[in-house]
Structure 1
Amino acid sequence: MKVKLIQPRMLKRPMDTDLKIRMSPHLGLLTVANIIRHDCEVTIENENIRPIDFDDVPDLVGIAVTVDVLPRAIEIASIYRQKGVKVIAGGIHITTASSSVPKDAFDSLCIGFAENTWPQIIEDMKHNRLQSEYVSKSLTSGNDIVAPAYDMIDKTDYLWYNVVSTSRSCPHKCDFCYNSSGTHQYINRNIDDVLADIKSLGTKHIMFIDDNFIGNISWTKQFLERIKPLKLNWNAA
């Protein structure tokens, strides 16, 4: 099965430069790729880097959606659906505000963690029974979190390719915040898994892009002790 994962072109704000759109790869799409790559032929296209190749006809297209790219995501979906390609939308906007998405814009919506949804999506695609909505269950532990497919990154495309996530979501539920509102589950990753990601990047400069790097102080202290011997230059969002 051929699966194409797409990051639509973002809308620059008045204060943004061209560097903003080339800031870093989409770890969500890289995670989906790692989840399904043993079953599928996976490609990732980032419209912020280069134009989307609309000449292909994959079996399934997955689009990562934030609120600013929703109109463009709907356009992309329309192009592929006219070819008979199934299109599924996921990402933070779908997870936090799925009710705001036009019901006929995509074939299916992926709400929540990819680890609990994409295996079933692929299984249903194989049997021609794609559902209109997939909602993730809670993760049992940080061991359930799948690492991004870092080997699929073209390091020359981004200002920061060395981005690492140590957790998912945020422990707070602030109603004004895109990343912490809704039904998110805050969970830290297995420390050994995070260390493996850091080592795979082959650099001493790491950017931790968690929504809340210190959301669990006890975990963070343990993690910092573990990375001391690596002598990293690091910063956090």
Structure 2
Amino acid sequence: MKLILVSPPFGEKGQKSKGLPIAPPVLEYLAGLTLQVRPDVTVELVDANKEQFNPDQADADLISFTVLTPQAPWVYRMADRLRQMGRQVLLGGIHVTALPDEAGRHADAIVLGEAEEIWGALLDDAEKRRLKPVYQGGFPELKGLSRPITNLWKTNYVYGYFQTSRGCPHRCTFCSVHEFFGGRVRTRPIDEVVAEIAQSKRRLFWGIDDNVWGVNMDYTIELYLEMGKSLRGKSWFGSGDLVSVDHPRAGELLTNARKAGLTAVLVGWESNNIGSLEEYKAVTKQGRQRRDAIKKIRDHGIEVMLFMMIGGRQDRREDYEGILKLCDELKVSAHPVMTTPFPGTQLYELYKPYLVPGLDWDSFDGNHAVFTHDDPLMSIDYREEAIVKLRAELFTIPRILGRIPQISWRGFPMSHITSWMIQYPQGRAFTQFAREREALKKTEAPG
């Protein structure tokens, strides 16, 4: 039996892009899970961001896609074509779990939730061509997870990844993580995490946990302590909250995090607008003094980038300039995305009356305004133009070079190198997006 696992493209409207320098985590893990439960199955991995996926040439007993919301239209087109040719198609991922009826119309079977408890039976059914329409995954404890298979790619990646937990303790309205992973946080055994990273041939990693240090303070400190003892010459970055930096053991946490190889963290600042923070239910995850928290993290030799959303229904025009002023004041970078109400979230239900009619899911990509705003000055065109302009200004070379020395020399040289490796390519990507957007507008202009 042959299985093809496909990671869909992130490019706008399903166009192939250069992709991320990070190996698609779900595919490597599913390959490992497959070989754990059915070692006789032949597995092929396809990253459609980096290579062409032609459904007419896809020859396998089962072809599976993992789906995020903006990827759904491309996946559905591919799936429909494959099924016309008699191929069995499986869909899974957050978007599928959020909208199972929609996804089910384009697949022979869908997986809701996590795959570990049903994967073996699903593969057996696929081999017999007796797939059930729906496989309801559970929320297993994370002991004994399969190791990612990293040697099946046709392309190369700078970063690998590792996972220490699933779920998030916060309940932000814009995020579906806590629902998708069962409403509670589960952690992996520390020795299994450390062994997996130590045995990997990769040197640079992305910690894919939704929160790298906010799930359990005692667990995380012990994890980082063991990573620091066992992992030499390996570096990684991840995402985290700011409230954890208020914890009495925060100094110990950050010291051990740096020794464990953490070079940079994307922290959830979310918004400067208090109305938006309240709407997102993200006030409590900010901590008491979030500006001081940024300095504390950097003083421990770890670079910081702010995750921020802009263009929400509580935001105003001055909030765009406010992000730039904040970053200049703190000499820190930010990753601003358009506020996007994804299906399966509380924010989607809140914003549903204001969604723009007729938009397909590939507009829900963090670049497009997909809902109306009560303020006529915050039109769809204005919000889309304003975020492009903000991104361009955030990542000029002088600004990037001015931020790097703010990291304590306790992190030299890897934290400083990581800062450049994150900021410079991101600035180039935003610039390229702006150029492509401008070119598209010219081709669509009348006359």
State the TM-score bracket (shorter-chain normalisation).
0.7 to 0.9
CA 1:180–1:43 in 2, change beyond 3 Å: closer, same or farther?
same
> Contact between 2:109 and 2:131, CA under 8 Å: does it hold in 1?
yes
Deviations 1:56-80 (Å, cap 9, x if unpaired)?
Answer: 3211000010000000000111121
Name the stretch that deviates more: 165-174 or 76-85: 165-174
Aligned AA (1:11):
G
| 1:53 shift after superposition | 3.8
CA 1:12–1:192 in 2, change beyond 3 Å: closer, same or farther?
farther
Query: What is the CA–CA distance in structure 1 between the aligned matches of 2:62 and 2:202, rounded to whole Å?
Result: 34
- Select the structure with the greater relative contact order (CA < 8 A; seq sep ≥ 6): 1
CA 1:183–1:30 in 2, change beyond 3 Å: closer, same or farther?
closer
1:94 is aligned to 96
1:157 is aligned to 156
For these two proteins, the number of residue pairs brought into alignment is 228
From 21, 31, 34, the equivalent of 1:33 is 31
2:211 is aligned to 212
1:23 alignment partner, SS class: coil
- Runs of 4+ more than 4 Å apart: none
1:105-144 pair list within 5 angstroms: 105-139=106-140, 141-144=141-144
> Contact between 1:32 and 1:148, CA under 8 Å: does it hold in 2?
yes
Query: What is the CA–CA distance in structure 1 between the aligned matches of 2:202 and 2:75, rounded to whole Å?
Result: 34
| 1:157 shift after superposition | 2.7
1:175-194 pair list within 5 angstroms: 175-182=173-180, 184=182, 185-194=184-193
> Contact between 2:164 and 2:187, CA under 8 Å: does it hold in 1?
yes
RMSD across aligned C-alpha pairs, in angstroms? 2.2
CA 1:199–1:125 in 2, change beyond 3 Å: closer, same or farther?
same
Deviations 1:126-178 (Å, cap 9, x if unpaired)?
Answer: 33321101111221x22143222123346x53342x22111122233333203
> Contact between 1:22 and 1:157, CA under 8 Å: does it hold in 2?
no
CA 1:205–1:31 in 2, change beyond 3 Å: closer, same or farther?
closer
| 1:93 shift after superposition | 1.6
> Contact between 1:165 and 1:209, CA under 8 Å: does it hold in 2?
yes
Aligned AA (1:191):
I
Query: What is the CA–CA distance in structure 2 between the aligned matches of 1:65 and 1:49, rounded to whole Å?
Result: 17
Query: What is the CA–CA distance in structure 2 between the aligned matches of 1:3 and 1:117, rounded to whole Å?
Result: 16
CA 1:192–1:183 in 2, change beyond 3 Å: closer, same or farther?
closer
1:74 is aligned to 76
Query: What is the CA–CA distance in structure 1 between the aligned matches of 2:112 and 2:120, rounded to whole Å?
Result: 13
1:195 is aligned to 194
Aligned AA (1:10):
F
1:220 alignment partner, SS class: helix
2:45 alignment partner, SS class: strand
Deviations 1:27-81 (Å, cap 9, x if unpaired)?
Answer: 1111111111313111010110010143132110000100000000001111211
CA 1:170–1:39 in 2, change beyond 3 Å: closer, same or farther?
farther
> Contact between 2:168 and 2:178, CA under 8 Å: does it hold in 1?
yes
1:94 alignment partner, SS class: helix
Query: What is the CA–CA distance in structure 2 between the aligned matches of 1:100 and 1:129, rounded to whole Å?
Result: 20
> Contact between 1:115 and 1:146, CA under 8 Å: does it hold in 2?
no
Q: So what's the TM-score if we normalise by structure 2?
A: 0.48
Quick check: which has more Rg, 1 or 2?
A: 2
Deviations 1:98-123 (Å, cap 9, x if unpaired)?
Answer: 34624321111111112112112112
2:319 is aligned to none
The structure whose residues are more often helix, as a share, is: 2
Structure 2: tracts of 5 or more residues without a match: 240-447
Query: What is the CA–CA distance in structure 2 between the aligned matches of 1:165 and 1:182, rounded to whole Å?
Result: 16
> Contact between 2:96 and 2:103, CA under 8 Å: does it hold in 1?
no
Aligned AA (1:76):
M
Structure 1: tracts of 5 or more residues without a match: none
| 1:125 shift after superposition | 1.7
